[in-house]
Amino acid sequence: MKLSKIIFRRILLIIMIITAAVFFALHYDSKEYSLQNEQEYINRICRMTHNRAVAVGIIDGDEDIFLEYCDIDGKTVNEHTLFELGSTTKAFTGLGILNLEKEGLIDLDSPVTYYIDWFRPQYKDSDALVTVRHLMNHSSGIPVWTISLIPEGSEGETTLEGTVRKIADVKLAHTPGEVHEYATINYDVLALVIEKVTGQKYEDYITETVLKDAGMNESFFRIADSDRQRIFPGRKAGFFATWQYDAPTYYGNTAAGYLASDTVDLVKWMRYVKCNIDFDSFSIPRRNKYYAGWNIYPGTVHHGGNNPNYSTQVIISRERDLGVFVLSASAGDIATRIADGIYGMHMGVNARIGLCVSNHEFQDFLLVMGILFILYIALLLKYRRKKLCLCGVILILIVLIMIPIISHISYRFMFVWMPYSFGVMIISILAFAICSYWCCSLWSLMKI
């Protein structure tokens, strides 16, 4: 019995080593890529990370370049294929606020309560002075976890005002204006300011001004479940693959993440940004490089976006007529990886992929290795120490129960945003706890 346990432990250890070696070998590429094979660069990253659909729009001088990748039976991707933009939508909201400021309808340094009289967030048990500018640069003090308060539902089922009322008296994490803390709901508050000032729905105002002015005739805001039919199906990661997933609609979060667009419109957008937004004029605190929906640096402006089943990345040069916009039908960080490489190539720097693992695939890898490791540890314990193993599992369960309490993020939110394997992990831990308890009980009865 003892010998068989030793052999099984060694087999498990060998399996863990081989699994890790194969995983990292499959996600490594040593080749160098340049402008001559940038399509191959995209293809290789997508295949390595199981990213099934990507569209890339590039402006380089007077040239517009469109690249695509699709590996889904019966589906094609081209420059007219629509994807959700995620948080790159915030730049459109930011520009709407800047336009209203130019018209004298908004004062960026006025308190938000001037436009929304019931909006009174709290700091140290007192009303806090949050200005429009604080919302624009994510220094309002509104904590990041407020994203989990955004209600699910299409237009008519929920409202923008109803979403903002969820945080009307929220306790701020910091003094307004002091600390940059990215909270997506800041831009939903800005959208409500736009509605109060213009008397129009947010999406109507942005469509009639920003989108129309930029010539983005194919773009629209996804405000209902039925709008999915017009967009390329999004996908969710899990078990080292991606699977089609229809994420809930969050109408109250439209301004922060739910513009749908294609690369034809987005190359127009990048050229519009180059010609119409003076980033040098932005008043940005030294410690904060974010404003109006953009991360602003000396050479570039950029922003990423993630919804439960889409991801995006835009990079625009401040010195050259160069910009890259990547759209992906899967959540994660691969859109950013592709954009960085393509942008570098057009700047004259060849790209190497090296080790390329999406954050969701890495979570799957850790899940598999974690299960194998738990089995390995369980085999190290003798029967008389089964209760110690059970105590460890109970401790893990307590941690899982405490996560929503400590983070203020519900399990419903986690199941929407996390990979499918997250649910399997929770179920596996529960099953392991039950089995451990059963084994302990059985062993106790056998000793009587």
Of residues 58 and 223, more confidence is placed in 58
The total domain count for the chain is 2
Domain-embedded: residue 381: yes
Domain-embedded: residue 50: no
Domain-embedded: residue 408: yes
Q: Are residues 252 and 323 in the same domain?
A: yes
Q: Are residues 341 and 373 in the same domain?
A: no
Question: pLDDT tens digits for 149-176?
Answer: 999 998 888 999 999 999 999 999 999 9
Q: Are residues 308 and 365 in the same domain?
A: no
Confidence bin at 286 (pLDDT 50/70/90): low
Domain-embedded: residue 59: no
Domain boundary residue, one of 298, 325, 355: 355
Three-state secondary structure readout of 34-100: CHHHHHHHHHHHHHHHCCCEEEEEEEECCEEEEEEEECCCCCCCCCCCCEECHHHHHHHHHHHHHHH
Whether the Cβ atoms of residue 104 and residue 127 lie closer than 8 Å to each other:
no
Mean pLDDT across the stretch 208-215? 97
Mean pLDDT of the residues in the chain: 88
Q: Are residues 319 and 403 in the same domain?
A: no
Query: How many whole angstroms separate alpha carbon 380 and alpha carbon 227?
Result: 54
Write the CB contacts of 338 (distance below 8 Å, at least 6 apart in sequence): 41, 42, 45, 54, 56, 313, 326, 328
Exposure string over 16-50, b if 16+ CB within 10 A, otherwise e: beeeeeebeeebebeeebeeebbeebbebbbebbb
Q: Are residues 341 and 386 in the same domain?
A: no
Structural domain containing residue 385 = 2-21+359-447
- The helix/strand/coil state of 7 is helix
Domain boundary residue, one of 295, 321, 355: 355
Domain-embedded: residue 369: yes
Mean pLDDT across the stretch 235-245? 82
Domain boundary residue, one of 355, 388, 415: 355
Tracing tokens 């990979």 back to the chain, one arrives at: 419
Query: How many whole angstroms separate alpha carbon 279 and alpha carbon 297?
Result: 9
In this predicted structure, what is the pLDDT of residue 225? 78
Torsions phi, psi of 373, nearest 5?
-65, -40
Tell me the β-bridge partners of 28: 355
Q: Are strands 28-33 and 351-355 parallel, antiparallel or unpaired?
A: antiparallel
Identify which of 310, 152, 307 has the alpha carbon closest to the alpha carbon of residue 235: 310
In this predicted structure, what is the pLDDT of residue 420? 76
Q: Is the pLDDT of residue 283 over 50?
A: yes
The pTM of this model reads 0.88
Domain-embedded: residue 276: yes
Question: pLDDT tens digits for 381-392?
Answer: 654 455 666 666
Domain-embedded: residue 49: no
Torsions phi, psi of 71, nearest 5?
-135, 50
Q: Are residues 212 and 99 in the same domain?
A: yes
Whether the Cβ atoms of residue 364 and residue 336 lie closer than 8 Å to each other:
no
> For the ranges 35-39, 90-94, 111-115, 393-397, which has the lowest average pLDDT?
393-397
Q: Are residues 385 and 237 in the same domain?
A: no
CATH code, domain carrying 131: 3.40.710.10
E strand or H helix at 183: none
3-state DSSP percent of the chain in helix, strand and coil, to 5: 50, 20, 30
Q: Are residues 295 and 329 in the same domain?
A: yes
180: its two tokens: 């940059």
Q: In whole angstroms, how far apart are CA 41 and each of 30, 81, 303, 337, 354?
A: 11, 21, 21, 11, 11
Domain-embedded: residue 236: yes
Q: Are residues 144 and 174 in the same domain?
A: yes
Q: Are residues 388 and 432 in the same domain?
A: yes
Q: Is the pLDDT of residue 299 over 80?
A: yes
Q: Are residues 169 and 119 in the same domain?
A: yes
Of residues 371 and 104, more confidence is placed in 104
In this predicted structure, what is the pLDDT of residue 324? 98
| CB count in 10 Å sphere of residue 250 | 25
Q: Are residues 251 and 382 in the same domain?
A: no
